[in-house]
């Protein structure tokens, strides 16, 4: 038995009002810093001159957007001695939420 077919125009897709979060991973060497809105991460030096470094993940998520056009991406800028990461809005995104997660021997300053 055949199923009834419908045209593409007859099918409706819900409007997309969010996009999956996008993230960037930054590996800091000892002595380097990461600057992000609201937080500064400094990779500390190990005792006896050995270095540990730090791994930081910055995630950007669009929280308010026009239908079918949300997007919020991390933007990385390198400067001598460190890295700066911020979220940039694109598409129809009007608000971005940024989350910073640090692992591996970093020192966090708010």
Residues 54-90 pLDDT 10s: 888 999 888 887 766 668 888 999 999 999 999 988 7
Q: Is the pLDDT of residue 24 over 80?
A: yes
Question: CA-CA distances (angstroms) from residue 100 to 5, 40, 57, 70, 85?
Answer: 48, 10, 6, 21, 10
Counting the structural domains of the chain, the total is 1
Question: Where in the sequence is the domain holding 87, given as residue range(s)?
Answer: 16-109
Determine the pLDDT at residue 56: 87
Tokens of 23: 């993230």
Q: Is residue 80 assigned to a domain?
A: yes
Q: What is the mean pLDDT of the chain?
A: 76
pLDDT confidence bin for 105, thresholds 50/70/90: low
Q: Is residue 36 assigned to a domain?
A: yes
pTM summary value: 0.69
């Amino acid at each position: 038995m055949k199923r009834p077919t419908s045209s593409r125009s007859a099918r409706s897709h819900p409007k997309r009002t969010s996009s999956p979060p996008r993230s960037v991973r930054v590996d800091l060497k000892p002595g380097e810093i990461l600057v992000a809105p609201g937080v500064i991460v400094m990779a500390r030096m190990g005792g006896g001159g050995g270095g540990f470094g730090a791994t930081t993940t910055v995630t950007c998520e669009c929280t308010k957007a026009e239908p079918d056009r949300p997007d919020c991406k991390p933007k990385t800028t390198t400067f001598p001695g460190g890295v700066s990461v911020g979220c940039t809005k694109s598409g129809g995104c009007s608000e971005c939420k940024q989350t910073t997660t640090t692992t591996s021997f970093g020192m966090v300053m708010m």
